[in-house]
Amino acid sequence: MHHPDPEALSASILQEFAGIDVIKNLNASGLRFQSANLSGKRFYSCSFSRSVLQNMNFSACTFRMCFFDFCFMDSSDFSGIDAQYCSFAGARFLNVSFEHSELVHNNFNGARTNDCTFNYSNLYNSRFIMSEFERTDFIDCNLKRTFIIPTKETDVSWRLSNTQEAIRELDRIDP
């Protein structure tokens, strides 16, 4: 979506967020947000596709049916979030924390992570198909029915996670 003055629109949206806890049907596609604290807010059916989220605090937020497709997230905190039925397809994550989060039924297909943490998170039935992980930790995560097919992995820790319950090969998918 084209915005004639994207910087002003981003600032206006952040200012509006200050006074509300529930955000519904927001289209912030292609916008840039920097250094804002949105912790504890609830987002429903919002789109941040192709947005840039830099130094953002989304800790303890709730996300339902939200889109972050092809988004770039840098040095942001998503710890303790409850995100269900969201799409992060093709997103790029750099130094992002998803620790202690409920990340259930989410699409991370084609996502790329560098220096990220998902430690102590529930990733039940999420998908990381054709994703790339570099210096990313998944320590003590629930990976039941999580699709990790195939991925490129460099310096990744799965310690204490139930990797045997993840689906890492196409032939393990039920017909």
Q: Is residue 14 part of a domain?
A: yes
- How far does CA 165 lie from the centroid of its chain? 21
Q: Is residue 88 part of a domain?
A: yes
pTM for the full model?
0.93
Report yes or no on 1 lying in a domain: no
In a domain, 64, yes or no: yes
Overall domain count for the chain: 1
Asked if residue 46 is part of any domain, the answer here is yes
- Cβ atoms 67, 87 nearer than 8 A: yes
Report the C-alpha gap between 10 and 30 in whole angstroms.
10
Structural domain of 162: 6-172
Find out whether 37 and 17 touch, Cβ atoms under 8 Å: no
One pLDDT digit (tens) per residue for the chain, 175 residues:
556 788 899 999 999 888 899 999 999 999 999 999 999 999 999 999 999 999 999 999 999 999 999 999 999 999 999 999 999 999 999 999 999 999 999 999 999 999 999 999 999 999 999 999 999 999 999 999 999 997 899 999 999 999 999 999 876 556 5
Helix, strand, coil tally for the chain in percent (to 5) = 10, 35, 55
Q: How far apart are CA 65 and CA 25, in angstroms?
A: 10
CA atoms within 13 A on the CB side of 22: 3
